[in-house]
């Protein structure tokens, strides 16, 4: 590529990163975050390849890349927003539909009239149903119904209250002023505690106060407990950690661009000690963990940039994320 094409390629890649970010703004669910993770990591090798090109890139282009990567890092969606969006999505698409579709018990009859089918109800969540419209199958078929002795609306209402309590718990486990790595640890602890306590009645005493005493209250608590125990089996921590991988890549690519700029300025490939001195030392912080990026020297002018512990933030994803610097002294000869 010519110099102008190099600049255009960098601009397109950085714009694509921005597009990914915009896709999960405003409290979207973790499903969208998974899509963004898959899309973002596929762009990393192309920007890495550009930064390792054997031709001079120039101060202007390298400065632009660093500046835009800094903006991307500073505007990444915090995991607390993703968890809030996940909670809203469950309420809107799982809990509210049966509450909106199923009628209240008719006074004096002791039982529900025939529930409205999803097609008969004109209610829809804000923004519509989207793809995979559940009305095609019927809302009532998706409910937690297991016994005719409990009104289905009561089941869903209690589940909603229990879920709201857990949403508040998420906010405490993942505060906005903590790095994403702390959120991952907090959500892992939450899931372990919920699985352990899901069978203990004392943990759900707040539900007992909302129902009449006796067998009916017991079944309602059991229903809500089961719903939340199943919720704990969802790998929220892994979803957050995957987004942490994107954060790491942005920081590592910025460090790579800064190293390349320093190499072109000096006309030689700096050794590993350059990462411990200005200006590179100030750029080594990984926004996922808040800890320094690990720099592993492979050979003169060749380095691997890794998470601080050398591991992948998402334990189920292998291998660990890495950005490779391949400095060619010939790149600085005009």
- Alpha-carbon gap, residue 264 to 193, rounded angstroms: 53
Same domain? 232 vs 274 = no
Run of H or E residues at 173: helix 152-173
Q: Angle between the 30-41 and 3-23 helix axes, to the nearest 10 degrees?
A: 170
Residue 326 and residue 301 share a domain: yes
Q: Are 168 and 213 in contact (CB under 8 A)?
A: no
Is position 296 within any domain? yes
Give this prediction's pTM: 0.79
Say if residues 101 and 121 touch (Cβ distance below 8 Å).
Answer: yes
* 185 and 93 together in one domain: yes
Q: Is 93 found in the same domain as 231?
A: yes
Q: Are residues 283 and 222 in the same domain?
A: no
Task: Clarify whether residues 226 and 307 are in a common domain.
Answer: no
Q: How many CB atoms lie within 10 A of CB 301?
A: 17
Choosing from 210, 236, 262, the residue where a domain stops is 236
Domain membership of residue 107 (yes or no) is no
In a domain, 127, yes or no: no
Same domain, 205 and 222: yes
Mapped onto helix, strand or coil, the DSSP state of residue 326 is: strand
Counted domains in the chain: 2
- State which residues form the domain around 289: 3-78+239-332
Query: What are the tens digits of pLDDT across the range 77-115?
Result: 999 999 988 888 888 877 887 777 655 443 334 443 444
Q: What's the pLDDT tens digit per position in 275-331?
A: 999 999 999 999 999 999 999 999 999 999 999 887 766 665 567 899 999 998 776
**Predicted confidence band of residue 225 (pLDDT cuts 50, 70, 90):** low
* Same domain (yes/no): 219, 261: no
* Pair (164, 219) in one structural domain: yes
Q: Is residue 66 located within the same domain as residue 211?
A: no
């Amino acid at each position: 590529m010519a110099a102008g094409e190099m600049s255009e390629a960098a601009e397109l890649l950085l714009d694509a990163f921005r597009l990914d970010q915009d896709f999960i703004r405003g409290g979207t669910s973790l499903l969208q975050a998974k899509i963004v993770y898959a899309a973002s990591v596929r762009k990393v090798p192309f920007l890495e390849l550009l930064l390792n090109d054997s031709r001079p890139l120039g101060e202007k282009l390298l400065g632009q890349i660093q500046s835009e990567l800094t903006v991307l890092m500073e505007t990444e969606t915090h995991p607390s927003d993703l968890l809030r969006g996940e909670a809203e999505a469950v309420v809107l698409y799982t809990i509210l539909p049966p509450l909106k579709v199923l009628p209240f018990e008719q006074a004096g009859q002791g039982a529900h009239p025939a529930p409205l089918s999803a097609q008969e109800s004109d209610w829809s969540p804000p923004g519509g149903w989207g793809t995979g419209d559940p009305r095609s199958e019927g809302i009532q078929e998706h409910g937690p119904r297991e016994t005719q002795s409990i009104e289905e609306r009561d089941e869903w209402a209690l589940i909603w209250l229990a879920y709201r309590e857990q949403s508040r718990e998420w906010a405490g486990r993942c505060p906005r002023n903590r790095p994403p790595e702390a959120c991952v640890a907090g959500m892992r602890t939450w899931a372990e505690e919920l699985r352990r306590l899901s069978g203990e009645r004392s943990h759900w005493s707040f539900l007992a106060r909302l129902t009449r005493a006796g067998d009916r209250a017991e079944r309602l608590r059991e229903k809500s407990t089961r719903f939340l125990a199943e919720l704990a089996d969802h790998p929220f921590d892994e979803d957050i950690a995957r987004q942490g991988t994107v954060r790491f890549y942005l920081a590592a690519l910025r460090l790579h661009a800064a190293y390349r700029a320093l190499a072109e300025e000096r006309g030689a490939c700096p050794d590993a000690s350059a990462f411990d001195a200005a200006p590179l030392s100030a750029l080594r912080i990984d926004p996922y963990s808040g800890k320094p990026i690990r720099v592993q020297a492979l050979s003169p002018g060749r380095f691997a940039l890794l998470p601080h512990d050398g591991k992948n933030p998402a334990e189920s994803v292998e291998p660990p994320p890495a950005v490779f610097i391949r400095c060619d002294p010939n790149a600085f000869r005009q």
